Amino acid sequence: MNKDINVNGFSVLLFRIALSGIFILAGVSHIMHPDQVAGRINKAAFSGFAVFFGDPYILGLLSGYALLACGINFLAGIFVRYSALALLLLLIPITITIQMGNGIFHGTLWKNVALFGGLLFFIINDPQSYIISKSFKKTRS
């Protein structure tokens, strides 16, 4: 099933703006309060998964900078597909560590599933409306 569907470019822009907000705010929160992030990691049911990657405090800071940088790029329309892919890859260990231990009926798990869906939209479709990286390609030609 490979049917093209026309979508209004402005609605895609609004979708990208709405989706980017949570990543930008989470990034700022991680950077401002890495001790709280480390505490949540340490208390999580699957904390061992995160600790495998390093010290929870450092992970909080690194994930904060990554969420903020990729969220801003995603919002601004700079390399949207790659920003969405980076955010999705970052969201996987966060979801496994923090959300999975709370059970399948926990609301924040399904919030993350919805975020995966939104990011997948931009990864799979790579919409070219209202993006800055499109103008980079034109100037190189």
pLDDT confidence of residue 68: 98
Query: What's the pLDDT tens digit per position in 43-66?
Result: 998 898 888 889 999 999 999 999
Residue partners of 71: CB distance under 8 A and separation at least 6: 20, 21, 22, 23, 24, 26, 27, 83, 87
Report the alpha-carbon distance of residue 113 to residue 92 in Å, rounded. Answer: 10
State yes or no: pLDDT of 11 exceeds 80.
yes
Tell the residue number behind the tokens 């609004």, with chain if given. 14
Closest Cα to residue 20, out of 60, 64, 76, 86? 76
Q: Tokens for 5? A: 């569907």
pLDDT confidence of residue 137: 53
* Band (8; pLDDT cuts 50, 70, 90): confident
- Is the alpha carbon torsion for 99, 105, 107, 111 positive or negative? positive
Query: What's the pLDDT tens digit per position in 77-120?
Result: 999 999 999 999 999 999 999 888 777 777 788 999 999 999 99
> Is the separation of the CB atoms in 45 and 98 below 8 Å?
no
Report the alpha-carbon distance of residue 57 to residue 37 in Å, rounded. Answer: 7
pLDDT confidence of residue 139: 52
Q: In Å, how far from its chain's centre is CA 35?
A: 21
pLDDT confidence of residue 7: 81
pLDDT confidence of residue 30: 97
pTM recorded for the entire structure: 0.86
Closest Cα to residue 127, out of 21, 13, 22, 23? 13
